[in-house]
Structure 1
């Protein structure tokens, strides 16, 4: 024998209200899911395309930091490289977040440990040290750009392999450091080059990305 749903005061079955409530709950869940999907798409787009820690929006704000970058570049005598430093900010963070030059790790700190002035100060200081080491080793400027991402050891690697950065050297270095481990990387540069991956160490396309950022200024 089936039990009947209780009647509401107006005589309508409470099942109608339950079904309507479920319908509204389902609609609310679908709305939330759609919102998460859209936000998730942008988050994934930012991760795969920009591959940075602090990037928040597809719109770069790197140029907004140009005056501060110029000041700190002058502090270290590398003011002639200001446009390259702005491009590094563009690639590293899109000019957003605090550690815009992602330079905390060059101090042995965890990512995003520095304020914006501290990040730019350290970024310029580190870049200056790379220029000096490159000059001593006789390596080219692109090796300095890649070393900002890989670490100064890359300059030694380039010096031991002809002194000139190439994409092949960047990939070989990353492959050795990552022990061959790869990761998905859907940046258009990577997609065009190999279908969308890079070795799980730094970014082997870094020089191309920085050059592209300079060209777009």
Structure 2
């Protein structure tokens, strides 16, 4: 009986892993459809950003499944989902990322601080510069709790469960209205996913 149960569990686990691999593969190839558009936008910008980083951010933001693929509307006019075409979304997203990368370089902080600032806002770059110069989950958590969340109404430190493997390794919680503490780590991981899955 135990052997049968173990086999059923193993089979279900294999099916689940297979399905998740298929979904990731499909999402990666959806994102890769924007590669030529990203290359064109980058060619018209003086930026430290590269194609792979922007594609990883698209994967992190929407997996290419929404018109505002880089979720850059709010940085443009303060209104969510106001951008109605992918090219404008990428142009605005690259503009913001390029600004963050230039500020990070000037402040002598790491590139991943600039990426995290895409989610938290540009002021995060100065915060990291004053606190060691390197983006970490601990710094992102403190900034989310003490700056971002209170500025958007969460003055009690309320949290919620965030279902993402990277988050689960560090407690799996985010501060409500506090942005994504794990954003830069997710982008970093998604760089790897795209590299692996684009080969198939």
Pairing partner for 2:43 from 68, 74, 89: 74
| Pair 1:205-2:177 in alignment | no
**C-alpha distance after superposition, 1:36-79 (max 9, x if no partner):** xxxxxxxxxxxxxxxxxxxxx87422111111011111211237
| Pair 1:181-2:150 in alignment | no
Higher relative contact order (CA 8 A, sep 6+): 2
| Pair 1:147-2:117 in alignment | yes
> Which SS does the other structure have where 1:112 is aligned?
coil
1:86 is matched with which residue? 55
1:100 is matched with which residue? 69
Q: Matched residues in 1 for 2:107 and 2:32: separation? A: 32
2:106 is matched with which residue? 136
Q: Matched residues in 1 for 2:104 and 2:169: separation? A: 30
| Pair 1:192-2:182 in alignment | no
The answer for unaligned runs of 5 or more in structure 2 is 1-22, 150-154, 195-200
**C-alpha distance after superposition, 1:141-173 (max 9, x if no partner):** 010110011110100110111111111101110
Larger radius of gyration: 1
**1:108, CA displacement in angstroms?**
3.1
TM-score, reference length from structure 2: 0.75
Q: Matched residues in 2 for 1:105 and 1:139: separation? A: 25
Q: Matched residues in 2 for 1:63 and 1:108: separation? A: 27
Q: Matched residues in 1 for 2:110 and 2:185: separation? A: 15
1:124 is matched with which residue? 94
Instruction: List structure 1 runs of 4+ shifted beyond 6 angstroms.
Output: none
The answer for unaligned runs of 5 or more in structure 1 is 1-56
Provide closer, same or farther for how the CA distance between residues 109 and 207 of structure 1 changes in structure 2, counting only shifts above 3 A: same
> Which SS does the other structure have where 2:160 is aligned?
strand
After superposition, the CA RMSD in angstroms is 1.6
Q: Matched residues in 2 for 1:78 and 1:133: separation? A: 11
Size of the aligned set, in residue pairs, is 160
| Pair 1:62-2:31 in alignment | yes
> Which SS does the other structure have where 2:179 is aligned?
coil
TM-score, reference length from structure 1: 0.70
